Chain A
Amino acid sequence: ETGVTQTPRHLVMGMTNKKSLKCEQHLGHNAMYWYKQSAKKPLELMFVYSLEERVENNSVPSRFSPECPNSSHLFLHLHTLQPEDSALYLCASSQDRAPRRAFFGQGTRLTVV
């Protein structure tokens, strides 16, 4: 167990649903990340929260909305997703200084139907 926990592990949702993914880290890190892993683009960075500042990949659609209430918790709110959003969503955390050794959660396997 690496200290980064994601829930749920699997999620099936319809295109009109609203759901949230949760990530929690117990490593004392102060930076957290959301990555999307699919066959087309392995390990694509979506969002970074570093010292409570959000940095995002400009190509991420607005139907994905992150929330980081504190340095230990990270959420990804999902609404009106498309089938092509089906993928493995990985959370990671690291220290906010070099070297940024990132530790990943187990991921949430999302299927949009």
Chain B
Amino acid sequence: GENVEQHPSTLSVQEGDSAVIKCTYSDSASNYFPWYKQELGKRPQLIIDIRSNVGEKKDQRIAVTLNKTAKHFSLHITETQPEDSAVYFCATGGGNKLTFGTGTQLKVEL
């Protein structure tokens, strides 16, 4: 089955800096790559996603890049703000399920 590895597990940045979270996967059939944000005590929420026919997608301060050959994809957050503090999960989709990474605790410090 699919194996998704996510790094780093924790990340601290200063407000205004950029944050990058990386994921690698094993199943070459995976064709959908979403990112979820989970604030403390709340549900995971989809923040951006990309399909395998696209290499990069941007939505305001967040962007995702995909390298299908190397089987890795990354989340980039620019100009970080305190409200960006949360746990971020990458996932891969293929067939009828999503396989999630282990999560990254992002802390944006003032």
Contact = CB atoms under 8 A, between A and B. Distances in A.
Interface of A: 2, 31, 33, 42-45, 48, 50, 55, 90, 96, 98-107
Interface of B: 31-32, 34, 36, 42-46, 49, 51, 87, 89, 91, 93, 96-100, 102-103
B53 to A, nearest CB: 11
Contacts of A33: 97-98
Chain B interface helix/strand/loop/mixed: strand
Given A99-B51, A101-B49, A45 B44 contact: no
Given A42-B102, A45-B98, A100 B93 contact: yes
B44 A100 contact: no
Contacts of B100: 42-45
B32 A99 contact: yes
A48 B31 contact: no
A28 to B, nearest CB: 17
A43 B49 contact: no
Given A90-B44, A99-B32, A101-B34, A48 B97 contact: yes
